[in-house]
Structure 1
């Protein structure tokens, strides 16, 4: 091979190695490649500047174990059209630890389809199906986003972040330290890998991390304890002060008058204490007297360089110079975030109404710059001052998961606060903490969210300059019987009907919030039932493009319906069952638009419904916020059997196990506590089996027959769809989505069919795929 112009010998050697090794990768992704290929092929390709799908074949990726593919891609400059498979896998890589190769293969197949075939109709062959012929799924249709910039996935929500330098060497890498709501600290390298085993430090959520010196950090938690740990050695130094019955409301470094820097801690009862940063002994210094309420404290300085303490309680911010306390600003709502800025004497405040303001201690009571964070619906949850492109940048985060950058220099009195580019949807849940890696090359913002992910955003690229395509969460969905299948989805305030066979779509409802959808039969027509925000349920002819008027409207609920399901009726029309936040279950006659029966036995919101035909009629199951599961005869909503107290906190979803008749009746419930429980209500007082996939709250569940008498359950957690065999007690498959899935539904199928069509909808959109039973 002749060396390419401009390439050095080292690069050429790795290029040849990558080309030769790629020839050794089996074409069948079900055959394990040699361990050397799994660990090192991607690294050879990166060093040879040929990191692309040809040199790292897709069939290798389900086995790839370098745990750094995202980092390798970020360091290269290959065009993305040569890296479609690599980039699809890099987005799944943080979620892949502990996954079986089959689960990795399935997740990769669906992620690649979502990235390359959005809205592609069934009439067009999907790219990649031939490449991953052994996959247990066939993607059918997708309008789903892939996980973006995920740097780490955590078992518990990260509630605090800090960075430390890994030693004194000039090229020592920084480390990221995370504290979570289980009281555990994790120390991570810039590629997201663990630098030390997890450290259990507290008995409550670690809400404060402050970097000290020589790799030491101070921690403050809801157990009322301030502690110190050594991040470089991965061990705790010990507690500094514990105050039972309180929580640590703030930690900061502060330089009081005529003294060196101290660590200052505030507790929820307004208690303040200072500690030296050598032996961490409590010291006596002048401190302001606070109300008996949680305080937020920040150390800063005046323009003359003298130390100043800022502290917030309720909706006010005050300052203390060692002698005198002065109220500096009052805010529209409780202060949720406070950060000191440069130049000296400036500070920024974020409050519970989403208002962001900047103040100067030399101008008491007046904001020099004020702005409402327009993209934040709810509170400002975090603020941070970071360095990007050789200047200080203010970062704000919101309860809606958004992050925005703001210019801090120059600050002109009473001028609007200027954003730097566009805000981004960083998380699918509130942002809980912010930090940054500022070392070259390229500063990166680190964000943590209640969605149990830590994400990594370039501060000097186009991410914030041009924003990111917004994905509107799907709040309701329904797949019609078929084939052909029609898909109805509600995105924001718009409900659309798709023909997934042709790819055609048309709007059904515009500018109306919809909380639930279901396809129902009314005489000779298939209609779409939609639960609307005015508490009504409207029936639409979804095949009539351009005609958005309902053909019938059902009235009776006092709150919006949260679940709708078609129930087999006695005549040519089906009936509709609805469950509402008003605590009632209603059965509707679609011919008369009147309720057949109403039950109000649930104490709180009824969140889910499921139905099953028994031959002599049908049964309806309902579950909700009272944690109970009830079964009803659909003729008149007479309760069938006993009430099942599920012990899962809230019952988010319920499904009947497939079967014939009422004999051997079995159900499965998905709970807020993260468990799936399998019930036989006729004979068992307790659940027959329980499944905990360790994926947070379970939001959805459905069931389908597999190969004769076997039954499989599909359930959705915070990051994945899990398939479970309850008879064997075996986890069959984990399909990574990277986002929370709110609903899972199977299309009706004939007995003995070798596959099942599954609909999954949630925060990132919608996908439909076929599960092949013989490949599970």
Structure 2
């Protein structure tokens, strides 16, 4: 019998290790596994070719600390169909640093449900799962996408990318370098972990990174400074040049004929300069005379080996050979991206209209080689050359968050576009690793993502996300969900999974369930500035039950005013700066207030002694409280100091001195107010998750109150009195709205609706498990 190959024997050893170690993992995810299991079990399973849910038990995942599970799954040669829990965790892994095990378990629970039970109602008696026994949530409904290929999550938006080779100093893979809009450089390994501490280099956004030699890197930023740093040692070498009052519009390497490579820089005032790449001193090099405006510079090579400098300003691209400047191409809109191609004298241009074209700088008759208008629905924001299925390809990124690949000579599309980010793509780069090349994308959504450069990734593409722009959850016990995605509004019965179209081909900006003559109806703010009230069970295309007109811009928030004698009233807040109170029976406005200076973005209501209170906040940064009966202002106006107020919520119950509220601000903070006692915030919470878009409140533990707030990547649950961050639920995408369903006094759980860029989640939060 032939002996087993060494590779098979090695895999067999690791398989046995994984099987033995898996037996040591506690079934209860509330019990910490041994540190060795947390750190190394997944790696043993991968090397043993048994990386699946059986060999890496789900109860281990809330404690898993290797931060390499996603990389192990991506590099697996034997993908298994028994990786549901592992795949769910791998998508959350980049967001998990600093999370408590309880937050990890909660996030994993909801992500697994979203991946396996889309649009499926909860069974009447769901089977008990010991892995989830300690989870503080019960998923009820999901139409939510999971985060895809997230490689790193950053505190600030990444605005530039490049790779740096270690050269002769170390036999390691290239490192990825990111520059962000806070002026900070980060150096990352291939698993997304930091290779060095962050380096604060600039006082503005770093928009240009150019790899030089031996790990050196040139940076250009909006503070007008060009600097050089040593990426391998993680330190700044020298600031090259600063021009106050300007920003660096371009930074590139150029190879003039008969000279060593030089570093070229251009500034927003039209100034351009050249520097040697040894001492980084200015050198006397002929440069074209350009207008006093931002320019993009790129060097290319001609067939005879001579260098040619390309430069773009406004909607034109010109060339300069050291003596003469020639205009080469004019474009439909301003040039946003310029890239030299491998073919001698060829270059690619992406413009502000989403047009991509390839041109020949050596041609005097037909400089345009190829053109497509399908690169992006917005501006083309970045271009890069990558290796795709063993050949060179041109990658283009757009303001619509998409990335596409093209043949660089004909602009023939290679596969389909992928929706890479939920915000504009800001930078592209690539590197090669086993088992193949990877495309790295950075977006304004503060994520860096890692895509395999293979046919499978682009063969079918990834459809564009259709964000939920409006949502509402009806009172129980049988909850109905209304959601607007794109131009369609549906009502779902989350107990049966049955959906019913309500509005077709009509953008809706706000939804609310209202009562009218013992009927529960759906109010929708439409793009024609009206508010229509529909019977959500009526046949498709039925006329509205009522139509409210008077706003001069679409309503951004709707709130039903509940209570004796007020069950048929609706409050609306609009981009026209007004708050209105409507009588649904007469379809008339009972009261109008125009005290906010700009858009009114949010409303909240609460029953109080003597009636109902209404709170409004908006783009003027102010919070106002109204008597809902006639919109008389209650107390003073509060200047929140959070820039824009995105959302407001009343605390349940009543404080000792009057109503209590919390505001979610553009500044990324929650602020807790007791308006009747003073104008200052009583408590403040900053989860460090970017702008906070939504907030809601619910009672926990007797008379205590918790607030749930939505940031860029997570939902955060906060106890203001104890100043405790109770829970962080990772979504991976921006959540734009949070709502709680009405609950009976003393109820031990709260139903929460979360909607945003990735879809909809509804889940029950159990108070006693927080």
Structure 1 residue corresponding to 2:708, chosen from 693, 704, 714? 714
For 1:470-619, what aligned pairs fall within 5 Å after superposition? 470-568=464-562, 571=565, 573-619=567-613
RMSD, matched Cα: 1.7
Residue of structure 2 aligned with 1:753, choices 734, 747, 750? 747
Q: Distance in 1 between matches of 2:580 and 2:424?
A: 35
Secondary structure of 1:770 counterpart: strand
Q: Distance in 2 between matches of 1:744 and 1:50?
A: 40
CA distance in 2, matches of 1:661, 1:264: 63
Kept in 1, the 8 Å contact 2:553–2:576? The answer is yes
Of stretches 53-62 and 613-622 in structure 1, the one that deviates more from structure 2 is 613-622
What are the within-5 Å matches in structure 2 for residues 125-164 of structure 1? 129-164=129-164
2:368 aligned partner = 367
1:128 Cα deviation after fit: 8.1
Give the C-alpha shift of residue 547 in structure 1: 4.4
Cα 1:129/1:722, change in 2 over 3 Å: farther
CA contact (8 A) 1:616 1:661 kept: no
- Aligned residue for 2:293? 293
Residue 116 of structure 1 and its aligned partner are, at CA, apart by 0.4
Aligned to 2:283: 283
1:575 is displaced (CA, Å) by 0.8
Matches for 1:195-234 after TM superposition, within 5 Å: 195-234=195-234
Matches within 5 A, 1:412-491: 417-491=411-485
8 A contact 1:515–1:532 mirrored in 2: yes
User: Greater shift after overlay, 736-745 or 232-241?
Assistant: 232-241
Counterpart in the other structure of 2:377: 377
1:404 matched residue in structure 2: 404
Contact 1:11 1:48 (C-alpha < 8 Å) held by counterparts: yes
- What secondary structure sits across from 1:282 in the alignment? coil
| Map of 1:119 onto structure 2 | 119
Alpha-carbon deviation of 1:611?
0.4
In the TM superposition, residue 245 of structure 1 has moved relative to its aligned partner by 1.1
- Give the whole-Å Cα distance in 2 for the aligned partners of 1:745 and 1:652: 14
SS at match of 1:438: strand
- What secondary structure is seen at the aligned counterpart in 1 of 2:131? coil
- Relative to structure 1, the CA distance from residue 471 to residue 80 in structure 2 (aligned partners, 3 Å threshold; closer, same or farther) is farther
- Structure 2: how far apart are the matches of 1:698 and 1:284? 51
Q: CA deviation at 1:4?
A: 9.8
Three-state SS of the structure 2 residue aligned to 1:114 is helix
Q: d(CA) in 2 for partners of 1:72 and 1:4? A: 24
Query: Over residues 354-379 of structure 1, what are the superposed CA-to-partner deviations in whole Å (9 max), with x where a residue is unaligned?
Result: 111111112347422111125x2221
Q: TM-score with structure 1 length normalisation?
A: 0.97
CA spacing shift, 1:127–1:433, aligned 2, 3 Å = farther
Partner of 2:86: 86
- Unmatched tracts of structure 2, length 5 or more: none
> In 2 relative to 1, CA 541–126 (structure 1 residues): closer, same or farther, beyond 3 Å?
same
- Which range moved further: 122-131 or 558-567? 122-131
1:770 aligned partner: 764
Name the structure 2 match of 1:737.
Answer: 731
Counterparts in 2 of 1:589 and 1:129: CA distance versus 1, 3 Å: farther
Report how many aligned residue pairs link the two structures: 767
Aligned to 1:258: 258
Partner-residue secondary structure (3-state), 1:106: helix
SS at match of 1:131: helix
Q: Find the counterpart in structure 2 of residue 35 from structure 1.
A: 35
Contact kept? 2:12, 2:48, Cα under 8 Å = yes
How many angstroms apart in 1 are the aligned matches of 2:219 and 2:66?
Answer: 32
- Checking the alignment, whether the CA contact within 8 Å between 1:536 and 1:555 is kept in structure 2 is yes
User: In structure 1, what is the Cα distance between the partners aligned to 2:44 and 2:391?
Assistant: 37
Q: Which deviates more, 6-15 or 177-186?
A: 6-15
The CA deviation string for residues 603-623 of structure 1, in whole angstroms up to 9 with x for no partner, is: 100000000011421011000
Contact 1:446 1:454 in 2 (8 A): yes
SS at the partner of 1:240? strand
Partner deviation per Cα, 1:240-264 (whole Å, 9 max, x = no partner): 1111111111000011233111000
Q: Secondary structure of the equivalent of 1:303? A: coil
Cα offsets for 1:565-591 (capped at 9, x unmatched): 101255373311111111111110000
Q: What do residues 37-95 of structure 1 show as CA deviations (whole Å, max 9, x unaligned)?
A: 10111111111111110111000000000110011111214444300000100000000
Distance 1:176 1:597 in 2: 58
1:40, 1:568 → 2: CA distance? 55
SS in structure 1 at match of 2:60: helix
**Kept after mapping to 2: 8 A contact 1:273/1:282:** yes
1:404 aligns to what SS in structure 2?
A: strand
1:329 offset after TM fit, Å? 1.2
Residues of 2 paired with 1:591 and 1:692: CA distance?
43
Report the secondary structure of 2:707's partner residue. strand
| In 2, Cα distance between equivalents of 1:7 and 1:306 | 50
Of residues 585-594 and 78-87 in structure 1, the stretch that sits farther from structure 2 once superposed is: 78-87
When residues 440 and 108 of structure 1 are mapped into structure 2, their CA distance, relative to the original with a 3 A threshold, is closer
Using the TM superposition, give the Cα deviation of residue 167 of structure 1 relative to its aligned residue in structure 2, in angstroms: 3.1
CA deviation profile, 1:191-221 (whole Å, cap 9, x unmatched) = 1111111111111111000001111110001
What is the alpha-carbon distance in structure 2 between the residues aligned to residue 124 and residue 506 of structure 1?
A: 22
Q: Post-superposition shift, 1:751?
A: 1.0
Give the distance between the partners of 2:210 and 2:571, measured in 1 at CA. Answer: 54
Alpha-carbon distance between aligned partners in 2 of 1:128 and 1:169, rounded to the nearest angstrom:
55
CA distance in 2, matches of 1:265, 1:316: 19
1:128-165 Cα shifts (integer Å, max 9, x gaps): 85431110111111000111000000011100000011
Which moves more between the two structures, 423-432 or 326-335?
326-335
User: Is the Cα contact below 8 Å between 2:415 and 2:455 reproduced in 1?
Assistant: no
Name the residue aligned to 2:642.
648
Question: Which aligned pairs between 1:175-186 and structure 2 lie closer than 5 A?
Answer: 175-186=175-186
The Cα of 1:461 is off from its aligned counterpart by: 3.6
The worse-fitting range, judged by mean Cα deviation, of 547-556 and 120-129 is 120-129
> Aligned-pair distance for 1:383?
1.0
CA separation of 1:42 and 1:178: change in aligned 2, threshold 3 A = same
Alpha-carbon spacing, 1:489–1:129, altered in 2? closer, same or farther (3 Å): farther
State the match for 1:414 in structure 2: none
- Asked whether 1:687 is paired with 2:688, we answer no
Instruction: Decide which moves more: 660-669 or 176-185.
Output: 660-669
Relative to structure 1, is the Cα distance of residues 604 and 677 closer, same or farther in structure 2, using a 3 angstrom cutoff? same
Q: 1:344 to 1:775 in 2, by over 3 A?
A: same
Cα deviation, 1:262-320, whole Å, max 9, x if unaligned, reads: 00000110110100011111101100011111111111122332101111111111111
Do the aligned residues in 1 keep the contact of 2:28 with 2:130 (CA within 8 Å)? Answer: no
Specify whether residues 519 and 80 from structure 1 end up closer, same or farther in structure 2 by C-alpha distance, changes over 3 A only: farther
* C-alpha distance in 1 between matches for 2:588 and 2:256: 73
Q: Is the 8 A contact 1:202 1:223 kept in 2?
A: yes
Cα deviation, residue 648, structure 1: 0.4
What is the distance in 2 between the residues matched to 1:74 and 1:692? Answer: 34
Secondary structure, counterpart of 2:481 in structure 1: strand
**Contact 1:569 1:575 (C-alpha < 8 Å) held by counterparts:** no
The SS at the match of 1:774 is helix
